[in-house]
Amino acid sequence: MNLRIISALVMRYLFLYARTPMRLVELIFWPLVDLVVWGNVTVFIQKNSTEQFGNFILFFLGAMILWDVLFRAQQGVAISFLEDVWTRNLLNIFVAPVRTSEYLSATFVVGILRILVTVVVVSVVSWVGYSFNIFQLHWWLIPFFLNLMVFGWALGMISTALILRWGQAAESLAWAVPFFIQPFVAVFYRVEDMPAWSQPFAWLFPATPIFEGMREVMKTGTVSWNYLWLAAGLNIIYLGLAGWLFVWVLNLTRKRGLLTKFATQ
Amino acid sequence: MSDAPDTREVILEARELTREFNGVKALDRFSFKLHRGEVLGLLGANGAGKTTAMNCLLGLTLPTSGELTAFGLPLQANRIHILQRLNFSSAYTALPGNLLVWQNLLVFARIYGVPNPKQKIAELLELLEISHLDKRVTGQLSAGESTRVNLCKAFLNDPELLMLDEPTASLDPDIADKVRKVVRKVQRERNIGILYTSHNMRDIEEVCDRVIFLHKGKIVCEGTPTDIVKKTSSTLEDVFIKIARDGEIVDEPIKKTTV
How confident is the model over A35-45, as a mean pLDDT? 68
What is the band of B259 on the pLDDT scale with cuts at 50, 70, 90? very low
Contact A145, A235 (CB under 8 A): no
How confident is the model over A108-122, as a mean pLDDT? 87
For A19-28, A52-61, A130-139, B153-162, which range has the lowest pLDDT when averaged over its residues?
A: A52-61
CB atoms within 10 A of CB B178: 18
- What pLDDT is attached to residue A169? 67
Are A264 and B83 a contacting pair at CB < 8 A?
no
Are B106 and A257 a contacting pair at CB < 8 A?
no
Q: Among B61, B97, B103, whose Cβ lies nearest the Cβ of A87?
A: B97
Are A96 and B83 a contacting pair at CB < 8 A?
yes
Q: Among B51, B83, B93, whose Cβ lies nearest the Cβ of A97?
A: B83
- What pLDDT is attached to residue A132? 74
Smallest CA-to-CA distance from A149 within A235, A237, A63 is with: A235
With a cut of 60, say whether residue A154 has pLDDT above it: yes
Share of chain B above pLDDT 70, in %: 93
With a cut of 70, say whether residue B246 has pLDDT above it: yes
Higher pLDDT pick, A157 / A257: A157
Share of chain B above pLDDT 90, in %: 46
Work out how many CB contacts closer than 8 A connect A with B. 97
- What pLDDT is attached to residue B240? 80
Q: To probe the interface with A, which of B50, B61, B71, B150 has the most A CB atoms within 10 Å?
A: B61
Q: Give B-chain residues touching A8 at CB under 8 angstroms.
A: 107-111
User: What are the backbone dihedrals phi and psi of residue B169, each rounded to the nearest 5 degrees, phi first?
Assistant: -60, 135
Share of chain A above pLDDT 70, in %: 85
Cβ burial A213-235 (10 Å sphere, 16+ → b, else e): bbbbbbeeeebbeebbebbbebb
Taking only the tens place, the pLDDT of each residue in B141-181 is 988 889 899 999 999 999 999 999 888 887 888 888 888 89
Supply the mean pLDDT for chain A: 83
Chain A contact for B74, CB < 8 A?
Answer: no
Q: Give B-chain residues touching A98 at CB under 8 angstroms.
A: 111
Backbone Cα Rg of chain B: 18
- Strand partners for B13: B33, B69
Q: Among B59, B97, B107, whose Cβ lies nearest the Cβ of A8?
A: B107
Q: Give A-chain residues touching B52 at CB under 8 angstroms.
A: 257
Share of chain A above pLDDT 90, in %: 27
- Please name the residue of chain B whose CA is at the shortest distance from the CA of residue A258: B61
DSSP B5: P
How confident is the model over A70-90, as a mean pLDDT? 88
CA of A53: how far to CAs of A67, A99, A210, in Å? 22, 51, 22
CATH class name, domain B10-90+159-254? alpha beta
Q: Give A-chain residues touching B88 at CB under 8 angstroms.
A: 91-92, 95
Backbone Cα Rg of chain A: 19
CA of A77: how far to CAs of A110, A164, B176, in Å? 7, 13, 39
- What pLDDT is attached to residue A83? 87
Q: Give B-chain residues touching A84 at CB under 8 angstroms.
A: 96
CA of B230: how far to CAs of B108, B204, B236, B244, in Å? 43, 15, 10, 20
CB atoms within 10 A of CB B31: 16
Are B106 and A11 a contacting pair at CB < 8 A?
yes
Q: Shortest Cα distance from A252 to chain B (angstroms)?
A: 9
- What pLDDT is attached to residue B116? 93
DSSP B134: T
What is the band of B258 on the pLDDT scale with cuts at 50, 70, 90? very low
How confident is the model over B32-39, as a mean pLDDT? 92
Higher pLDDT pick, A22 / B89: B89
- What pLDDT is attached to residue B1? 46
Contact A176, A166 (CB under 8 A): no
Q: Give B-chain residues touching A257 at CB under 8 angstroms.
A: 19, 21, 26, 52, 55, 61
User: What are the backbone dihedrals phi and psi of residue A213, each rounded to the nearest 5 degrees, phi first?
Assistant: -65, -40
Q: How many CA atoms lie within 13 A of A195 on its CB side?
A: 4
3-class secondary-structure state, position B195 = strand
For A45-49, A105-109, A162-166, B181-185, which range has the lowest pLDDT when averaged over its residues?
A: A45-49
Chain B contact for A259, CB < 8 A?
Answer: yes
With a cut of 70, say whether residue B59 has pLDDT above it: yes
Provide the pairing of β-strand B218-223 with B210-215: antiparallel
User: What are the backbone dihedrals phi and psi of residue A93, each rounded to the nearest 5 degrees, phi first?
Assistant: -70, -45
User: What are the backbone dihedrals phi and psi of residue A151, each rounded to the nearest 5 degrees, phi first?
Assistant: -65, -35
Smallest CA-to-CA distance from A108 within A72, A159, A161, A82 is with: A72
What is the band of A260 on the pLDDT scale with cuts at 50, 70, 90? confident
Q: To probe the interface with A, which of B22, B98, B114, B150 has the most A CB atoms within 10 Å?
A: B98
How confident is the model over A13-21, as a mean pLDDT? 78
Higher pLDDT pick, A168 / A117: A117
Taking only the tens place, the pLDDT of each residue in B185-195 is 989 999 999 99
- What pLDDT is attached to residue B257? 43
Between residues 53 and 72 of chain B, which touch chain A (CB distance below 8 Å)? 55, 58-62
Smallest CA-to-CA distance from B236 within B258, B246, B221 is with: B221
Q: Shortest Cα distance from A174 to chain B (angstroms)?
A: 20
Residues B138 and A86: their CA atoms lie apart, in Å, by 14
Between residues 24 and 83 of chain A, which touch chain B (CB distance below 8 Å)? 83
Are B88 and A12 a contacting pair at CB < 8 A?
no
With a cut of 50, say whether residue B253 has pLDDT above it: no
Q: Among B21, B26, B98, whose Cβ lies nearest the Cβ of A20?
A: B98
CA of B117: how far to CAs of A216, B19, B52, B105, B120, in Å? 52, 38, 33, 9, 5
This model of the complex carries an ipTM of: 0.85
Are B99 and A16 a contacting pair at CB < 8 A?
yes
Domain ranges across chain A: 3-264
Are A92 and B112 a contacting pair at CB < 8 A?
no
Are B108 and A92 a contacting pair at CB < 8 A?
yes
DSSP sequence for B48-112: SSHHHHHHHHTTSS--SEEEEEETTEETGGGHHHHHHHEEEEETT----TTSBHHHHHHHHHHHT
User: What are the backbone dihedrals phi and psi of residue B170, each rounded to the nearest 5 degrees, phi first?
Assistant: 65, 15
Residues A71 and A9: their CA atoms lie apart, in Å, by 21
How confident is the model over B227-239, as a mean pLDDT? 81
Residues A124 and A132: their CA atoms lie apart, in Å, by 9
What is the band of A121 on the pLDDT scale with cuts at 50, 70, 90? confident
Chain B contact for A222, CB < 8 A?
Answer: no
Contact B121, B137 (CB under 8 A): no
- Please name the residue of chain A whose CA is at the shortest distance from the CA of residue B109: A8
For A231-245, B83-97, B115-129, which range has the lowest pLDDT when averaged over its residues?
A: B83-97
With a cut of 70, say whether residue A263 has pLDDT above it: no
How confident is the model over A164-170, as a mean pLDDT? 78
